[in-house]
Structure 1
Amino acid sequence: MLNLKHQAPSSQLRRTLLTGLTVFALTGSCHYALAASPSQAPQIAKAPKLVLVLVIDGLPNEQVQRYRHQFGEGGFKRLMEQGAWFGNAHQAHGITVTAVGHSAVLTGAYPYQHGIIGNSWFDPKTSASVYCTEDTQHTYIGTDTKASDGTSPANLKVSTVGDELRYATGNRSKVVTVSGKDRGAILLAGKTGTAYMLMKKTGAFASSTYYMNQHPAWHADFHANKPQDRFYGKQWTTSLADHAYHDDAHDDIVAPANSSSSKRFPYTYDSASGKPDAEYYEKLFTGPYVDELTLDFARAAIEGEKLGSNPTGATDVLGVSLSSHDYVNHTWGPESKMSHDHLQRLDRLLAKFLSDVDKKIGLDNTLVVLTADHGFANVPEFSQSMKRDANRLDGSKMLTALNQHLVEQFGVEKLVRKWSAPYFFFDYSKAEVKGITRSELENAAARFMLNYNGVASTYTRTQFENGQVPNDRISRLMQRAWHKQLSGDVMVVVKPYWYFGSTNSGTSHGTPYTYDTNVPLMIMGKPWIKAGAYSQYAEVMDIAPTLSHLLRIRLPSGSEGRVLTETLK
Structure 2
Amino acid sequence: MLGKKTTFFFLFILVATSPLYLVSQKKSKKVDATQLKTSPKLVVGIVVDQMRYDYLTRFWDQYDEGGFKRLINEGFNCKNNHFNYAPTSTGPGHTSVYTGTTPSRHGIIGNNWYDKVNEVEVYCASDSTYASVGTSSDAGQMSPHRMNVTTITDQLRLHTQKRGKTIAIALKDRGAVLPGGHTANAAYWFHGADEGLWITSSYYMDQLPKWVKDYNESGKVKDYKKTWTTMKDVSTYVESGLDKNRYEGLFETETTATFPHDTPNMLNKNADFEILKYTPYGNSITADFAIEALEKEGLGSDTITDFLAISFSSTDYVGHKYGVNSKEVEDTYIRLDKDLERLFKALDKKVGNGEYTVFLTADHGAVDVPSYLKDMKIPAGYFDSDAMKERFSEFLKYTFGTTDIIKNYSNYQFFLDHKIIKNLDMDLAKAEELIAKELLGYEGVDQVFTGHQMWNNHYTSGIPYILQQGYHQKRSGDILMVLEPGVVTYHETGSTHGSPQIYDTHVPLLFFGKGVKKGSTVARTEIPDIAPTIAALLGIAFPNGTTGKPIAKVLE
CA distance, structure 1, for counterparts of residue 263 and residue 58 of structure 2: 28
CA distance, structure 2, for counterparts of residue 309 and residue 269 of structure 1: 43
Moved more, 35-44 or 245-254: 35-44
CA distance, structure 2, for counterparts of residue 241 and residue 354 of structure 1: 26
Pick one of 316, 319, 327 that aligns with 2:306: 316
1:456, distance to aligned residue in structure 2 (A): 0.7
SS at match of 2:232: coil
* 1:399-414 superposed matches below 5 A: 399-414=389-404
CA distance, structure 2, for counterparts of residue 257 and residue 149 of structure 1: 29
State the structure with more CA Rg.
Answer: 2
CA contact (8 A) 1:58 1:375 kept: yes
CA contact (8 A) 1:407 1:414 kept: no
Pick one of 133, 144, 156 that aligns with 1:153: 144
**1:196: which partner in 2?**
188
TM-score, with length taken from structure 2: 0.90
**2:12: which partner in 1?**
none
* 1:175-214 superposed matches below 5 A: 175-193=166-184, 194-201=186-193, 202-214=195-207
1:240, distance to aligned residue in structure 2 (A): 2.3
**1:24: which partner in 2?**
none
Pick one of 261, 264, 289 that aligns with 2:258: 264
CA distance, structure 2, for counterparts of residue 399 and residue 195 of structure 1: 41
Pick one of 496, 501, 505 that aligns with 1:513: 501
Q: Which runs of 5+ in 1 are unaligned?
A: 1-34
Q: Which runs of 5+ in 2 are unaligned?
A: 1-22
Q: 1:289 to 1:487 in 2, by over 3 A?
A: same
Q: Structure 1 runs of 4+ off > 6 angstroms?
A: 256-261
1:534 and 2:526 equivalent? no
- Cα deviation, 1:289-347, whole Å, max 9, x if unaligned, reads 1111111111111111100014xx31000011000000111111111111111111111
Paired amino acid for 1:405: F
Matched residue count: 526
SS at match of 1:40: helix
**1:122: which partner in 2?**
114
Pick one of 2, 27, 34 that aligns with 1:39: 27
Paired amino acid for 2:66: G
Q: 1:247 to 1:357 in 2, by over 3 A?
A: closer
- Cα deviation, 1:66-96, whole Å, max 9, x if unaligned, reads 1112210100000000000111111221210
**2:14: which partner in 1?**
none
Paired amino acid for 2:265: S
1:488 and 2:482 equivalent? no
SS at match of 1:432: helix
CA contact (8 A) 1:96 1:516 kept: yes
**1:418: which partner in 2?**
408
1:477 and 2:466 equivalent? yes
**1:224: which partner in 2?**
217
CA distance, structure 2, for counterparts of residue 292 and residue 256 of structure 1: 22
CA distance, structure 1, for counterparts of residue 172 and residue 301 of structure 2: 27
SS at match of 2:46: strand
**2:510: which partner in 1?**
522
* 1:22-171 superposed matches below 5 A: 37-41=25-29, 42=31, 43-44=34-35, 46-146=38-138, 151-171=142-162
Q: 1:247 to 1:230 in 2, by over 3 A?
A: closer
1:257, distance to aligned residue in structure 2 (A): 8.2
Pick one of 363, 366, 381 that aligns with 1:391: 381
CA distance, structure 2, for counterparts of residue 261 and residue 461 of structure 1: 47
**2:19: which partner in 1?**
none
CA distance, structure 1, for counterparts of residue 424 and residue 38 of structure 2: 67
* 1:443-454 superposed matches below 5 A: 443-454=433-444
Paired-residue identity, %: 34
- Cα deviation, 1:509-553, whole Å, max 9, x if unaligned, reads 01111111111100001x411111222211121111111111111
SS at match of 1:533: strand
1:500, distance to aligned residue in structure 2 (A): 2.4
1:388, distance to aligned residue in structure 2 (A): 1.9
CA distance, structure 1, for counterparts of residue 450 and residue 255 of structure 2: 36
Q: 1:258 to 1:366 in 2, by over 3 A?
A: closer
1:46, distance to aligned residue in structure 2 (A): 4.8
What is the Cα-based RMSD across aligned positions, in Å?
Answer: 2.2
TM-score, with length taken from structure 1: 0.88
1:226, distance to aligned residue in structure 2 (A): 2.3
1:261, distance to aligned residue in structure 2 (A): 9.8
1:265, distance to aligned residue in structure 2 (A): 1.7
